[in-house]
Structure 1
Amino acid sequence: MVLSWEVLPESGLREAIGVLVRVVETAGALIIFVGAVWAFARFIAAVVRSGGHGRGFHRIRLTLGRFLVLGLEFQLAGDVLRTAVAPSFSEIGQLAAIAAIRTALNYILGREIAHERAELERDAEGEPQQDAEARSSGRKAP
């Protein structure tokens, strides 16, 4: 006699993971949505404050990029969860394609974020120097 004990049958496990996938993917979508709304509101405020010049664009873009990267990570986690229980070869192939696309997007966004951060740091370092030069020459700082 073979003793078999299952904590949760495969069908029940699939249902539970299905719920988790929806929760994780919803979280990712909400993160992206909140980031987009936040960035839009900040952009409008920056345009209004600066009289149409849109100053602060780099900071807004940097923060939006962070939201996008985090949201995409959640979406990828949902895809991994979806194939956690007895995946078929087609599901594995789909996961590989989706993971490759989302990883490439994350990589590109990561590079953009690093570039934006470096530009902001360069701008921040340049401002005090311009102020000091302006004071020593008797002109107003830009």
Structure 2
Amino acid sequence: MLHELLIDAIAYIVPLTELLGVAVVTWGSVHGLILLLQRGWDLLSSREPGSSLSDIRIAIGEKMALGLDFFLAGDIIGTIVVPSQEALLLLGGIVVIRTVMAYFLAKEIEKKAAE
């Protein structure tokens, strides 16, 4: 009975968690586009751009990494209930992507802080 209740709850939790991931990635993309358009406008207006391309990449990357965390959380929760080889491979792929993104994002932030 408890297992069935858990499966029913997860049927709502996983899509909600993944939806949050989509929202965060979308937010990052829109925010990055706005920063890029502002930079373009500043350059066309012969003004000093407010954001460097590195700043824009960092802003987008941070939100993408956070969005991937939500996807990862949803996949972990889903895999707990229905562990399949396909789900585990997907989970492993997301972990690898997230780890690589976090590494390069940290390097970019470290480089920016040193400037």
Same fold (TM over 0.5): yes
Structure-2 separation of matches of 1:49 and 1:90: 48
Deviations 1:91-136 (A, max 9, x none): 3344334433443344344434444x24xx41xxxxxxxxxxxxxx
Structure-1 separation of matches of 2:19 and 2:92: 21
Conserved 8 A contact 1:21-1:78: yes
1:67 aligns with 2:63: yes
The corresponding residue for 2:20 is 27
Q: More helix per residue: 1 or 2?
A: 2
Which has the higher Rg, Structure 1 or Structure 2?
1
Alignment of 1:43-58 (within 5 A): 43-51=36-44, 55=49, 56=51, 57-58=53-54
Alignment of 1:1-142 (within 5 A): 6=1, 8=2, 10-51=3-44, 55=49, 56=51, 57-85=53-81, 87-115=83-111, 117-118=112-113, 121-122=114-115
CA RMSD of aligned residues (A): 2.4
CA deviation after TM superposition for structure 1 residue 51, in Å: 1.4
CA deviation after TM superposition for structure 1 residue 85, in Å: 1.9
Instruction: Give the counterpart letter for 2:22 in structure 1.
Output: A
Which structure has more relative contact order (CA 8 Å, sep 6+)? It is 2
Instruction: Give the counterpart letter for 1:60 in structure 2.
Output: I
TM-score scaled by structure 1?
Answer: 0.64
- Give the direction of change, closer, same or farther, for the CA distance of 1:73–1:52 in structure 2 (3 Å limit): farther
> What percentage of residue pairs aligned between the two structures are identical?
30
Unmatched segments (≥5 aa) in structure 1: 1-5, 123-142
Structure-2 separation of matches of 1:18 and 1:114: 40
CA deviation after TM superposition for structure 1 residue 31, in Å: 0.3
TM-score scaled by structure 2?
Answer: 0.77
Structure-2 separation of matches of 1:90 and 1:45: 43
CA deviation after TM superposition for structure 1 residue 74, in Å: 0.9
Q: Tell me the number of residue pairs that the alignment of Structure 1 and Structure 2 aligns.
A: 112
Unmatched segments (≥5 aa) in structure 2: none
Structure-2 separation of matches of 1:102 and 1:65: 11
